[in-house]
Chains A and B, each alone.
Chain A
Amino acid sequence: MEKPGLYYYVNKVIVALLAVLFLIPLVWTILTSFTPATDVITRSNPFWISRPTFDNYIAAWETVPFLTYYWNTIVIVIGILVVQLFTLTLAAYAFARLNFIGQNVMFIIFLVQIMIPPDVLIVPNYAIMSELNLVDSKLAIMMPYWASAFGVFLLRQTFKQVPIELDEASRVDGCKWWQTLWHVYMHSAKPTYVAFALISISTHWNNFMWPLIVTNSVESRPLTVGIAIFAQSFETGAQWGTVTAATILVIFPLLLAFFLFQRQFVESFMHSGIK
């Protein structure tokens, strides 16, 4: 291999500096969350803690009903994912392997959801939820996302790559269509399912506007809405410690999962952009 030139090292240094710059908000938040409330504003060096403390976490945990919020978020995220997997597997199979009248029209009908995501239909969807008497329920948060055109197209691509001979062989063996779907298609599409699941989970863990609108009680609110309402109750810097601690508690599970399964995360998101 030839020796890299000066330009190489200059660019590597720039990229490393940018990485530090990108990490500063996270590092600073973590440090602030361990700083005593009295020191947060007076400290001269914001990247140094002279007396580290857990008090902020204790205070945050005591004021915010975190267990309820975590539970709600987990129920919502899983509830969305499970139904999505069901609806998108069936639709993807139909698009990948069946011939039917109006296939192109159906394709466009599904495509519309990619163009108009439920996130922008908050006003009419709120009216629909109140007609259905579902306002302030976890069901109301989940239902608009139960069909995922993005997931259907992602999975359809994978299903199409399954050799048709495998399909035929399993039918010759006497498998019912749903057995073939399970053994042949779903089995070979595992990486696509993982990719879709990671994207779905992180999207809905982070979703805010829609849950904010359709919920108004602690019992149905997810973490993002809970933390936003909590942070709203403060104006001055005195509570920074508590708010940063609460923020870390919200982002910690996903961040931890991300650093542990970095490759899967990055590959999943890559996957979503490839034809």
Chain B
Amino acid sequence: MISPPRESVGVKRTFNWKENLFAYALLFPSLIFLSLFTFYPTLKSIYNSFLSSGFGQKTFVGFDQYSRVLQDEVFRKVIINNLWLAAATIPTSILLAVYLAVWVNDKMKGNGILRASFFYPTVIPMIAIANIWLFIYTPDYGLIDKFFDMLGLSGPHWLGDPKWVMWAMIIMIIWKEAGFFMIFYLAGLQNLPSEVYEAAKLEGAKPFQVFRKITFPLLMPTTLFVLIVATTNSFKLVDHLYIMTKGGPDNASNLLLYYIYETAFSFWDTGAASVLTVVLLLILLSISIFNYAFLDKRIHY
């Protein structure tokens, strides 16, 4: 995605006082806000994660707080939910996105409308999506149960049953994300060399063979990029929980970031919330490091 700046090789550079000062002056406005709202809070979270915050008094407790929070039953549930959500939504929405992109890619009339109908969930706030899907999942009167009714079936209590609530969320997230990922595949498809396809056609390759042997491998850079966005999103998207389930029933749909929010602003346990924030930071950092260290090198054609 982003290539680091390269020093110009062979050109002997002398230290230019003025240019250095000028460069840092230009970076300064950004650096203020980065320091104040990214670096300082990150360090503050790490520091606070070692302090217990009971009854307004902060005492140093070292790793005790970590073992208290990390051994908690709810923490385990939340992490499993997050992993489960990622495992179920990411491959499905990526496959759906590739499929849709391939079939709405040509300049045919009507494809614009098709693209729009897949992409529009991207521009709707998660909170509005939650309002809409809450009504879709409502027992008896909701859209899905009306449909089940027509078929003579009766659905479970989608959001109230711990067995079903994650499935309900997974379907909604796939609906929200597939069209967004489709856009990146549309961009990827535009860069594919047409000669390869002509050659494949001459060889009499079947359409699915062409996709499996040519299109999909050539789209690998896009897939890896989308994979990173999707993985990060699966930890960031939690707004809907506020409207739909509050993480319930019995934390069956709770996710790490929402759990952080609850811990800090409902239970007012800043120490525990800091430990959880550090865990989330570590997860996000390992996703990016994995990306830059392993994936970025392999995704060139």
Task: Tell me which of B66-74, B85-93, B128-136, B154-162 binds A.
Answer: B128-136
A101 contact set on B, CB distance < 8 A = 15, 20
**B-contact 0/1 string along A252-275, CB 8 Å cutoff:** 001101110010011001110111
Q: Give min CB distance, A126 to chain B, whole Å.
A: 7
Cβ-based interface call for A247 (8 A)? yes
B117 touches A23 (CB 8 A): yes
Residues 222 to 275 of chain A near chain B (Cβ within 8 Å): 224, 227-228, 231-232, 237, 240, 243-244, 247, 250-251, 254-255, 257-259, 262, 265-266, 269-271, 273-275
Complex interface: stretch among B75-83, B212-220, B235-243: B235-243
Please give 18 more A-B residue pairs, beta carbons under 8 A apart, in addition to A127-B270, A247-B128: A19-B113, A25-B133, A29-B135, A41-B141, A90-B29, A91-B29, A104-B5, A109-B39, A119-B257, A120-B235, A120-B257, A121-B41, A125-B41, A126-B264, A147-B31, A273-B183, A273-B187, A275-B1
Contacts of B242 in A (CB 8 A): 208-209, 212, 228
Q: What are the residues of chain A within 8 A of B39 when measuring CB–CB?
A: 109, 112
Residues of chain B with a CB closer than 8 A to A112's CB = 34, 38-39
The interface centre, meaning the residue of B30, B99, B103 with most chain A CB atoms within 10 A of its CB, is B30
Q: Are A208 and B125 in contact (CB under 8 A)?
A: yes
Contact pattern, B 111-136, Cβ under 8 Å of A = 1, otherwise 0 = 01111111111111111110111111
* Contact of B261 with A7 in the complex, beta carbons under 8 Å: no
Instruction: Assess the B26–A91 pair: CB atoms within 8 A.
Output: yes
On whether the beta carbons of B125 and A94 are closer than 8 Å, the reply is no
What is B's interface to A at a CB cutoff of 8 Å? 1-5, 7-8, 13, 15-16, 19-20, 22-24, 26-27, 29-34, 36-42, 44-45, 48, 99-100, 103-104, 112-129, 131-136, 138, 141, 143, 146, 175, 179-180, 183-184, 186-187, 207, 222, 225-226, 229, 235-236, 238-239, 242-243, 257, 260-261, 264-265, 270, 273-274, 277, 280-281, 284-285, 287-288
